[in-house]
Amino acid sequence: MNKKMTNSGANQTLSLLQQYGVTDIFGYPGGAIMPMYDAIYSSEITHYLCRHEQGAAMAAIGYARASNKVGVCMATSGPGATNLITGLADAMSDSIPVIAITGQVSTKAMGSDAFQEVDIISLSLACTKYSFQVKRLEDLADCIHQAFSIATSDRPGPVLIDIPKDVQVAVSNKPLELVYSKRHLIAKSTPPKQKNGINEKAQYEKASELIASAKKPVLYVGGGVGMARADEQLAELMQLLCAPTVATLKGLGSVPYDRKLYLGMLGMHGTKAANMAIQQSDLLVVLGARFDDRATGKLNEFAPNAKVIHMDIDPAEINKRRTADVPLLGSLKQTLATLIEVVRENRANDAERQEWNNYCVSQIETLEKSATETRRSEEGNGSIDSKTPSTAVTAIDATQLLYRLNQFLAVGPEMHVTTDVGQHQMWAAQYLQFTRSNQFISSCGLGTMGFGIPAAIGAQISKPNSLVVSVTGDGSFMMNMQELATIKRYKLPVKILLLDNSRLGLVRQWQQLFFEQRYSETDLSDNPDFVAIAKAFEIDAQTITQESEVVAALQKMTESKGAYLLHVRINIFENVWPLVPPEKANHEMIDRV
């Protein structure tokens, strides 16, 4: 390499990434990003070639979520950059720190409709915390410093850095040491400034008083707990309050599944125990949750008698969908520690809440009983209209399959489960058991099909000794199955559990329940041979169709030293229960029809 090029914009970029601890990048090369890839050739950073830029962005998300580090992805200009957009929107919705680096046509060509020129800054504004376009080499280092600070401080999120080709090849006369020192590496997040007394001690005193006087309190845990790495503080608060606890989809794992008084997930497909407790509560202590519509159901009937203590780092979430009686703004690690200190001085009478706690626990139905009843009620249920080809109904129960998977996931020292979006996602949320906040990696806010496999790739690379299982459906699998090539190339031991009902299952379920069984465009009975596809990528695979095969197949999959795909045929009309119907309150959930 030309010695001058060692201080080029491309090399500066990679050197600065290394200063921020970046060891891995996911991407796909192209014309406008080529100088960066030339620099990667001699870099200590490992680049993982994904087979679609969307896959690269989602792999970066999986990497970030499993490791609590920043995920980095890279693409060329034009279609390369636009293919990152869905991944960036996913990261924005779920508050994941991702840095996306895109190439751009040279500054002189910008605005001329040059080949593969797209205004990616305008396109990305709605799905990033901030987007930079570096038009001078002198600004490059400062943009990268700011990008990492923005992506990781306060409420995390994705940042895009668009670098024109001429800036990548430009050479600086400054030593790299001066480039590094222009700004200190990631400044620690500072607590938000006080506003209307929102962080004053009086607010904590008020919160403590509400907690002490509550007869039916509920802890409402969101994804913010895991992002703040406040699991220990949450556990301490739970022990102190001895109150029933529920979690959002993204909050799963922050409360260990076997923790006393944990009622499970709330919302559209939450547990009966969680939803009924919320609806009857007189106080919600909300930790890093945003009152998402899938969690609240009909908002004006959600927890109608409850006062709200809302703890969040993002001031935009306070009073956005539910007015907070006591808002506590700031890092959950800090605000929880302060609240715990104040609550200790004003302890409630636990005996008075025992009846409430006993009631909530009594509402918990065992997973085995629920799954068995659901299966019996649905065998042969749901008519198929004349436009839908008939297929054989299989004997494998998806919910029991996932419940059985737990015994194999618990064996290893570490495990991570990624999912795509659909029925399998909800079953995984309901039946898999998690003990840490980074174990369940799913597209929660955006609901992105095709997320599971690339996210599993990122998780596996960030945690090479972890058992990583991607639970997917036949519809979702087809959306990013090209990433099997990435699994093959890097010999990643990702396990893929593919639940195949030959349908877009969740849409089909809604068509059955709410659209008079008019099954429009949800038939996938012409799916390809998934096992043959896996084997074409040198991935071991098998298909099972009978309950008697489940345990042995799960054991074979999880104990496989390499990648493995287990293709499971499930009943076309197996539904996700319970379900809160549209425009209904959570207490109006239905168990089955």
SS3 readout for 42-94: CCCCEEEECCCHHHHHHHHHHHHHHHCCCEEEEECCCHHHHCCHHHHHHHHHC
CA 295 to chain centre: 15
CB 397 within 8 A of CB 547: yes
What is the C-alpha separation between 63 and 384, in angstroms, rounded? 41
Q: How many Å apart are CA 168 and CA 510, to the nearest integer?
A: 50
Q: Which 3 state secondary structure label does DSSP give 251?
A: coil
How many angstroms separate the CA atoms of 238 and 260, rounded? 9
Cα Rg for the chain, rounded, in angstroms? 25
Q: Are 507 and 522 in contact (CB under 8 A)?
A: yes
Rounded to a whole number, what is the largest CA-CA distance in the chain?
A: 76
**How many domains does the chain divide into?**
3
Decide: helix, strand or coil at residue 292: coil
Is residue 48 domain-shared with residue 162, that is, in the same domain? yes
Q: What is the CATH number of the domain that holds 355?
A: 3.40.50.1220
Q: Does residue 225 lie within any of the structural domains?
A: yes
Q: List Cα–Cα distances, 317 to 203, 224, 321, 404, in angstroms.
A: 17, 12, 8, 38
Residue owning tokens 């700031």: 330
Q: Are residues 439 and 532 in the same domain?
A: yes
For residues 228 and 284, membership in a common domain is answered with: yes
Contact 588, 581 (CB under 8 A): yes
Query: Using an 8 Å Cβ cutoff, are 511 and 517 in contact?
Result: yes
Q: Tell whether 354 and 377 lie within a shared domain.
A: no
Q: Residue 196: inside a domain, yes or no?
A: no
Helices within 85-184 (DSSP H only):
85-93, 120-124, 137-152, 165-169, 176-181
Q: 357 and 399, same structural domain?
A: no
Assess whether 149 and 214 both reside in one domain. Answer: no
- CATH number of the domain residue 572 falls in: 3.40.50.970
Residues with Cβ within 8 Å of 355's Cβ and at least 6 positions away in sequence, in order, are none
Instruction: Please measure the distance between the N-terminal and C-terminal CA atoms of the chain and give it in whole angstroms.
Output: 68
Q: 342 and 221 share a domain?
A: yes
Within a domain: 130: yes
Which residue has 């093959």 as its token pair?
488
DSSP state of 435: S
User: What does residue 263 show for φ and ψ, rounded to 5 degrees?
Assistant: -100, -5
Phi, psi (deg, nearest 5) at residue 258: -100, 15
Q: Provide the pLDDT for residue 414.
A: 86
What's the number of CA atoms in the CB half-sphere (13 Å) around residue 87?
Answer: 39
Q: Which of 344, 362, 380 is the last residue of a domain?
A: 362
CA distance linking residue 343 with residue 355, whole number of Å: 21
Q: Name the residue among 14, 60, 21 with its Cα closest to residue 38.
A: 14
Q: Which residue stretches of the chain have pLDDT < 70? A: 1-5, 175-199, 347-350, 365-394, 411-413, 593
Whose tokens are 């990435």? That residue is: 486
Q: How far is Cα 435 from Cα 255, in angstroms, rounded to an integer?
A: 7
- As a residue count, the chain comes to 593
Q: 18, 44 in Cβ contact below 8 A?
A: yes
Residues 41 and 155 in one domain: yes
193 falls within a domain: no
Of the candidates 418, 593, 419, 422, the residue with the CA atom closest to the CA atom of residue 501: 422
Domain boundary among 151, 181, 211: 181
Q: Which pTM value belongs to this model?
A: 0.93
Q: List the beta bridge partners of residue 26.
A: 48, 73
Does one domain contain both 155 and 253? no
Q: How far apart are CA 265 and CA 247, in angstroms?
A: 5
DSSP state of 566: E
Contact (CB, 8 A) for 235 and 254: no
The whole-number pLDDT of residue 80 equals: 98
Residues 331, 387, single domain; the answer is no
> Residue type at 505?
G
Q: Burial level of 583, CB count in 10 A (0-12/13-18/19+)? A: exposed
Distances 487 to 48, 150, 408, 454 between C-alpha atoms, Å? 10, 31, 22, 9
**Residue 112, token pair as written in the block:** 């001329």
Q: Are 552 and 434 within one domain? A: yes
Residue 337 placed within a domain: yes
Burial class (CB in 10 A: 0-12, 13-18, 19+), 178: exposed
Give the domain extent around 385: 367-588
Predicted local distance difference test score (pLDDT) of residue 395: 74
Structure tokens at 255: 């409360």
CA 524 to mean position of chain CA atoms: 26
C-beta neighbour count of 545 within 10 angstroms = 15
- How far is 490 from 455, CA to CA, in rounded Å? 15
Are residues 29 and 154 both part of a single domain? yes
CB 269 within 8 A of CB 248: no
In a domain, 523, yes or no: yes
Q: Estimate to the nearest angstrom the gap between the alpha carbon of 253 and the chain centroid.
A: 12
Single-letter residue type at 449: M
Determine, yes or no, domain membership for 412: yes
In a domain, 487, yes or no: yes
